[in-house]
Structure 1
Amino acid sequence: HVLASFVGVITPTLIIGGVLGLGEHIPYLISMALIVSGVGTFIQARRFGPIGAGMICLQGTSFAFLGSVLAAGFIAKGKGGGPDEILSLIFGICFLGAFVEICLSQFLDKLKKIITPLVTGIVITIIGISLIKVGMTDLAGGFKAPDFGSLENLTLGGAVLAVIIMLNRSANQWLRLSSIVIGLIAGMALALFMGKISPAAIIESISQQPWLSIPVPFKYGFSFDWVAFLPIAIIYLITAIESTGDLTANCMISRQPIKGESYLRRIKGGVLGDGFNSMLAAAFNTFPNTTFSQNNGVIQLTGVASRYVGYFIAGILVILGLFPMVGAILQQIPKPVLGGATLVMFGTVAAAGVKILAAEQLDRRKLLIMAVSFGIGLGVTLVPDL
């Protein structure tokens, strides 16, 4: 479970930190992402009153928020803000936005009439396609890199991509589940051989970190902006529906009812848990959380759905997060290595959206909705000056 989700938990933080120039804050932010992921997973597995699904619902930083979080960061940066101001605005709007999902969790049955599979499929596809630009930029060397698009960078990113593809084609399910982690490790080894990273730089980065990362609520302050808040609120709306699908799949694999009062209570508790954990994430300096779907594959593979396994997963993630040296090492991953991995992950997000749309009976009305949505959604992405 930890191998299947680890890269997903830390990658949004690495991308946001790199794009917004958060530098020295990244190891601490990674630590907080891991700790909150562990605490959120425990809440979902243990279930506290109405909060939590009572199943293995691994919580992690959501890729869906990446675009709107970066947009909020650029708003703060555009006003002359430094890292503290950027993070203050991001965590402020994410904290208040979490209440959107918390409230919606109690009206899921009614919400499905408005947020249909067509709407969800379109939004997830647009999110995935817009994020591919981030992955490809990293693969080429990173934003404004002096060696952008060099043969070395493309070789390194391409090698990671090739390893992940080969492992995903393997008959061994364990290799398929661990493909992203193994791809990153292989990429780090190749980068070391190519001289892209040095052991001395890693040791120096570790030596600059404290022994323990202590969670400090709202360490960077709390601020708000309506323009930055609205896109975040919409994504919270979409993730509430997306999590419903992931939780239903978890119920099916775990042989729990997928109809009736107990099912509805479990789903409401899971989505409420997502919202509460996202609120917790913002309070403790990390980005919104959601239920990871890849861990349903692990349950299916192992045949073990006991929620007590979730306690161990939570413990491992919290322990990893307590040591900032983990974040310091991960910060040294070269951009092309990260890009090779994220290109697959973001492509997978887009493909998941296409899969939802493919299940729809597309009449003329639905095709028009898709045409206008893709036109405007991707139009803004391609012409951001608008």
Structure 2
Amino acid sequence: MSSPSNHAVGTVRYEPDEKPPWPLAAGLALQYTILALGGVVLTVAIVLRSAERSAEYLAWGAFGALLVCGIATIVQVRRFGRLGSGYVLIMGTSGAFIAVSVAALQQGGPALLASLVIVSSVFQFLLAGRLSLLRRVLTPTVAGTVIMLIAVNVMPFLFDFMDNVPEGSGAAAGPVTVLATLGVTLAVMLRFTGPVRLWGPLIGIVAGCIAASFFGLIDMGPVGAAAWVGVPTAGAPGLGFDFGPAFWAILPAYTFVTLVGGGGGRGGPRGG
């Protein structure tokens, strides 16, 4: 009788240093891309919508996040010198940054948020070679607890979205859409195993969009009018290195979230 470990080894089709056929590689790359796009854009949308920013800035924020995550993923895969892991490691956004990013936008606008991102990232570079020491303090238990508490702080922003519906849509429009999205996502992630679970959030978003369409919450006009390929021409935040009271008040929290959400206390790196 074969053991579970032998069965697991038998299912490995390619070793890390082997190259699969390009059709298979292209298909896997497409799946990875689809799964990553939703999380990257959704986090940006939650932050900017919660801070009541313009549609132009939202377009620029989504463009910037996708560009940075794409470049960082290429660096991870190709490995340039000491930069990168040399493996397929998808870099994306993290929900741990939602609360502090919303606070930065409300206190100082896009320029303050951009400055905090750049300054806090310096700590990541400084501690990159000493992550073993950091993990003695930010253990998986500590980091996991902090991330759960951060999620609690984010919930008020998400509940506000339930009332953010067009006039005349009906009182049930928001709750029904939320329940459809959450219910389908949880059902997929709890009912299925393996690769199917990875599609849970995306399937939940599709279910939520279908539910929202019955209440007239979906407007496909901007999507149809948008260009297939393009770069945002407005909404660039710029930088604001004025180092005022708002900057110093939010910097400690932003730096701590950067350490916790970007790799502290966990077994491997992740996108921030």
- Is 1:107 aligned with 2:130? yes
Note if contact 1:9-1:60 (Cα within 8 Å) is conserved in structure 2. yes
- Is 1:59 aligned with 2:91? yes
* 1:12-161 correspondence to structure 2 within 5 Å: 12-24=43-55, 25-76=57-108, 86-138=109-161, 140-142=162-164, 150-161=171-182
Percent of pairs identical after alignment?
A: 22
Unaligned runs of at least 5 residues, structure 1: 77-85, 248-270, 275-288, 291-386
- Is 1:162 aligned with 2:158? no
Note if contact 1:3-1:178 (Cα within 8 Å) is conserved in structure 2. no
Give 1:14's aligned amino acid: A
Figure out how many residues of one structure are paired with residues of the other and give that number.
Answer: 235
Structure 2 counterpart of 1:230: 252
Unaligned runs of at least 5 residues, structure 2: 1-31, 242-246
* 1:126-275 correspondence to structure 2 within 5 Å: 126-138=149-161, 140-142=162-164, 150-171=171-192, 173-198=194-219, 202-204=220-222, 206-207=224-225, 211-213=229-231, 219-224=236-241, 225-242=247-264, 245-247=266-268, 271=269
TM-score, with length taken from structure 2: 0.75
More helix by share: 1
Closer, same or farther in 2 for the Cα pair 1:226/1:215, shift >3 Å? farther
Closer, same or farther in 2 for the Cα pair 1:131/1:52, shift >3 Å? same
Give 2:253's aligned amino acid: P
Higher relative contact order (CA 8 A, sep 6+): 1
Note if contact 2:96-2:257 (Cα within 8 Å) is conserved in structure 1. yes
Query: CA offsets per residue over residues 176-218 of structure 1, 9 Å max, x none?
Result: 21121112112212222322224xxx224553669511699x9
Structure 2 counterpart of 1:10: 41
Deviation at 1:36, TM superposition (A): 1.5
Deviation at 1:111, TM superposition (A): 1.9
Closer, same or farther in 2 for the Cα pair 1:151/1:240, shift >3 Å? closer
Runs of 4+ in structure 1 off by over 6 angstroms are 144-149
Farther off after superposition, 177-186 or 206-215? 206-215
Closer, same or farther in 2 for the Cα pair 1:237/1:163, shift >3 Å? closer
Residue 92 of structure 2 aligns to a residue in which SS?
strand
Closer, same or farther in 2 for the Cα pair 1:101/1:19, shift >3 Å? same
Deviation at 1:56, TM superposition (A): 1.6
Note if contact 2:76-2:88 (Cα within 8 Å) is conserved in structure 1. yes
Note if contact 2:169-2:217 (Cα within 8 Å) is conserved in structure 1. no
